[in-house]
Chains A and B, each alone.
Chain A
């Protein structure tokens, strides 16, 4: 009974938003980039305000309606990058954004919306031989799942070498099937400018759905970090260095090996040095001016891993064994980084640190990321600023070397579904660390040592001789 009620409430929450059809899409172009292990989609919309009065809001639904993937990031610009759009999530995958200026009746506006989603690629067949080429199936709505009428619609797939589309049956729609429009024209694909195109088609009614599958060759691994613990250890003294340690739980969500892993086949095929093989054997981490991976190290639960090298612009790491679909590997990477420009002193005691959200491996996606800041002992956390939304923030203390009071202040910020490009995004943290609290710690440690020495001296005064 409770299940039915909650289902009904959920249904209402999706359905209750009564979107006024005050826009009409003159042009609606979807471009889907399939070259990576996640999907980058760009939607170009040119819309006209068909209302009588000026309108400053547009409802945008991630154009799918098939509820089977996770959104990482959504961003958009208005009229050729004139302004950045701010999205507000109304319900599951339905966003509203406010335009910088209301658009007059019968006037046009252009939006470019980009979003990234993941966990939507399925290896087909699920298990293949070492020498086979991996094919991925993406299930997608061939049309645009949108609240407004669309005059002209196009769909492009990019970044694939070979593909074929197939009809699929979908029985897991996001909204009530009665609301959807399944009566859609049949459109044939064509190849143009190295991309796979559908359309243009005219006059698409709102919430049009036609599930389609695209099976394409993708002989690269689908590497995913199921968990990433990124820990930033800030020093309490004035040295110009801080430490970063990252713990990864890696997997490959691509195709499985049909039989066991055969070293002979792996050696004979020379897959180790191949860039285009679906076995994940190299993790590449780009260096930057700020981060040169000083004194870096790789370890896992059985000790040091020595298969790594720093080559031009990249730190390349080979896991102990290549990862095929369903295989796992955990490791820890640590290094020192100079503060350089990333730490600013606002006043005598207040600091602000800028740090990339992640330190991304090439073509790597992340399921769950904990960004941990270990502020010096006796410091005070003030605020944190993240350009993308985090799921939660927690405060804790953790004792490290020579922590004699509460221990380091630990701030954990949790994110989900990140991808490689978010390494360009910085998180700012502001904290207070006074000279007095620093000296208090020094004093406390030295008084402990002093007490120890004095007690030793006093104990020595007691005569225990029995000879």
Chain B
């Protein structure tokens, strides 16, 4: 403040009031963003959600019970049996280390021995508060603190981000978005002032991000792209040089310390852009130096020759190194970013994940509400100013819009920039329409004043309504769409009172309590992490999906006949087979509905034995009723799902409530290689035990048929009383 006359309200400096207001607003934003993420805790309980978080939770427990080095060297022999998984070397430890540090700090320094589960559950909401703050700083750099506050509140409650950060969704993204915003903020700051200090901070947050989420590659490419565009626009300066080099040198060296990343930054093509721009900026700096020393004409020749040389060397080197296998080929996930049908054809395992599907258009509105149409306005306003930092918003916005359209999960990275742009737009609008000074300063007529006032009132009131509606929409979406733990399902009793369906935990706990500690459980990979986390038993495949063949093997066992499946089960020492069946209560996320993916994935490995076509009727329908094809009816999955299902219907045809199909009683499957050992209350989880080989060396089908026959004869002997009459 340079002015000597300070404005005062009630004797208090206006700057103090502003600061106070800002602090109050910040606290409110943090409060809103944390509390709107607590629906599931209040409605259900403090529980880890979905699938991946169960692995993260298990890994965190391992970390707090062992040393950090044990954690990094952790070889987990309880997953991917019999292969095991080099867990310590194949995970991003940032999330677990963060929780571990918080746990230790609270316990050792503050005398608060909080259960690690609660820390894991509440980590995402806590970090969402921080995200709001970093979004504020980032947007403040773009415009001013008014826009910053708006961006912070948008970020705090936008469903696109909440979807991955409700209490209990203990996933890498929970902290990664915070780190993303922090890294970008420090990057803009360092780029603007050319500070080594801020460049270092950018690198440190980048390192934290690398340790936390595979999506760090986004930063690795976005910052170089920003720099590249600036260079193309001839906006090179020493500040940019300082900022980029500091970030790249420190950030890359630091990121290589993460075991899972290792030498990727100099080998993988994902990282080549950053390396290339690093080289380029050196050349540009050199050119800049040359330019200042030699006449313009000579410089042009120098430029042409060196450009051709560099381009040739660069492209040649890239091709050469890829051909030699020194640098990794492009990954499937990367291809599917450019060609949405790539995965479906080549890698069914990637396509089978629902979050890898292309985004449906309504999802954009669902996840960001009014921000989606304010977003282009914000980008347009950035074009108007087009300072270096605005370019960042534009690049980020354009890139992420494309990616979010390709993959649902990338909606998450788009949301922050939507919030920032929308905040810039609204704040600009408010700057204009909230400026009421002309009423008492301008000399315009009363009539003009009246119309101006009315139009201002109209715009302001409609935007107040939009803002109100935005909060309402966000709360509704969060409450209804993103707050289900999916481990526990909400339901209603016949009298309308709320009830919960707890079948998953029931079955997992049964496994944990009543099976041998080294029992091997086979299930589809979706449930691998949950079985590891809740049932504490060895699994064959899990959500890590690192070995496609192993997953295909499980798929083959599920879709083959009993005889073929039994050999696979025995080869893999399987003791129990676990399936999810929703036919009784109408739970649509069951294994029969995922069955086609099992078939497709195993067909990819055994195209001679498994044919997807065999599982469809002649008219190409997917049926489980009387018209179900033979391959379907004979598959292990079908048999396990409908085993003794008919008995619920008292001799009538069974009705599958998910697929709304009637299964005739004569289709009731019989099992000879498996024994039913547990079925949960609502039949969602069914567990079968693999039979041992028959004592008499018969095949199990014959043996169980013999067992059934002998039983029947015994019953037949009973009613002899009639003869006495």
Residues of A within 8 A of B (CB): 259-264, 267-268, 300-307, 320-321, 326-330, 399-404, 445, 466-467
Residues of B within 8 A of A467 (CB): 193
Instruction: List B residues 80-137 near A (Cβ within 8 Å).
Output: 111-113
Q: How far is the CA of A321 from the CA of B502 in the complex (A)?
A: 11
Q: How far is the CA of A329 from the CA of B512 in the complex (A)?
A: 9
Beta-carbon contact of A401 and B675 below 8 Å: no
Q: How far is the CA of A401 from the CA of B112 in the complex (A)?
A: 5
| Interface: B647 (CB within 8 A) | yes
Residues of B within 8 A of A300 (CB): 509
Q: How far is the CA of A404 from the CA of B488 in the complex (A)?
A: 38
Q: Which of B500, B512, B678 touches A260 (beta carbons < 8 Å)?
A: B678
| Interface: B470 (CB within 8 A) | no
A-B contact count (CB 8 A): 78
Given known A-B contacts A260-B689, A264-B648, A267-B648, A402 and B505 have beta carbons under 8 A apart: no
The contact sample of 28 A-B pairs, CB cut-off 8 A, is A259-B676, A260-B675, A262-B644, A262-B679, A263-B678, A263-B683, A264-B648, A268-B647, A301-B512, A302-B505, A302-B512, A303-B45, A303-B46, A303-B488, A304-B45, A304-B47, A305-B502, A306-B500, A306-B502, A320-B509, A321-B510, A321-B680, A327-B513, A399-B111, A401-B112, A402-B112, A403-B111, A404-B111
Count chain A CB atoms within 10 A of each CB in B44, B111, B681 and give the residue with the most.
Answer: B111
**Which 5 A/B pairs are nearest by Cβ-Cβ distance?**
A260-B677, A263-B679, A304-B45, A320-B506, A328-B513
Residues of A within 8 A of B512 (CB): 301-302
Residues of A within 8 A of B681 (CB): 263
| Interface: B197 (CB within 8 A) | yes
Instruction: List B residues 643-683 near A (Cβ within 8 Å).
Output: 644, 647-648, 675-681, 683
Beta-carbon contact of A264 and B514 below 8 Å: no
Given known A-B contacts A302-B534, A303-B47, A399-B111, A264 and B505 have beta carbons under 8 A apart: no
Residues of B within 8 A of A262 (CB): 644, 676, 679
Q: Which of A264, A267, A307, A401 touches B111 (beta carbons < 8 Å)?
A: A401
Residues of B within 8 A of A (CB): 44-47, 111-113, 193, 195, 197, 488, 500, 502, 505-506, 508-510, 512-514, 534, 644, 647-648, 675-681, 683, 688-689
Residues of B within 8 A of A329 (CB): 509, 513
Residues of A within 8 A of B113 (CB): 399-401
Q: Which of B112, B502, B508, B644 touches A264 (beta carbons < 8 Å)?
A: B644
Q: How far is the CA of A302 from the CA of B503 in the complex (A)?
A: 12
CB distance from B242 to the nearest CB of A (A): 13
CB distance from B643 to the nearest CB of A (A): 9
Beta-carbon contact of A263 and B680 below 8 Å: yes
Beta-carbon contact of B111 and A261 below 8 Å: no
Beta-carbon contact of A260 and B676 below 8 Å: yes
Q: How far is the CA of A11 from the CA of B193 in the complex (A)?
A: 92
Q: How far is the CA of A304 from the CA of B40 in the complex (A)?
A: 13
Given known A-B contacts A264-B647, A264-B648, A302 and B508 have beta carbons under 8 A apart: yes
Beta-carbon contact of B513 and A261 below 8 Å: no
Residues of B within 8 A of A303 (CB): 45-47, 488, 505
CB distance from B210 to the nearest CB of A (A): 26
CB distance from B193 to the nearest CB of A (A): 7
Count chain B CB atoms within 10 A of each CB in A262, A300, A305, A399 and give the residue with the most.
Answer: A262
CB distance from B646 to the nearest CB of A (A): 9
Q: How far is the CA of A330 from the CA of B506 in the complex (A)?
A: 12
Q: How far is the CA of A402 from the CA of B109 in the complex (A)?
A: 10
Residues of B within 8 A of A402 (CB): 111-112
Closest A residue to B687 using CB positions: A260
Q: How far is the CA of A403 from the CA of B108 in the complex (A)?
A: 10
Residues of B within 8 A of A267 (CB): 648
Closest B residue to A445 using CB positions: B111
CB distance from A263 to the nearest CB of B (A): 4
CB distance from B298 to the nearest CB of A (A): 40
CB distance from B676 to the nearest CB of A (A): 5
Q: How far is the CA of A367 from the CA of B642 in the complex (A)?
A: 41
Residues of B within 8 A of A263 (CB): 678-681, 683
Q: How far is the CA of A305 from the CA of B47 in the complex (A)?
A: 12
Q: How far is the CA of A437 from the CA of B514 in the complex (A)?
A: 48
Q: How far is the CA of A445 from the CA of B109 in the complex (A)?
A: 12
Q: How far is the CA of A305 from the CA of B683 in the complex (A)?
A: 18
Additional A-B contact list (20), CB under 8 Å, known A263-B679, A320-B510: A260-B689, A261-B677, A262-B644, A262-B676, A263-B681, A264-B648, A301-B512, A302-B505, A302-B508, A302-B512, A303-B488, A304-B44, A306-B500, A320-B509, A321-B680, A327-B514, A328-B513, A402-B112, A466-B195, A466-B197
Beta-carbon contact of A321 and B111 below 8 Å: no
Residues of A within 8 A of B647 (CB): 264, 268
Beta-carbon contact of B502 and A320 below 8 Å: yes
Residues of B within 8 A of A327 (CB): 513-514
Closest A residue to B117 using CB positions: A303
Beta-carbon contact of B47 and A321 below 8 Å: no
Residues of B within 8 A of A401 (CB): 111-113
Beta-carbon contact of B679 and A261 below 8 Å: yes
Q: How far is the CA of A264 from the CA of B513 in the complex (A)?
A: 22
Q: How far is the CA of A267 from the CA of B682 in the complex (A)?
A: 11
CB distance from A416 to the nearest CB of B (A): 23
Beta-carbon contact of B509 and A301 below 8 Å: yes
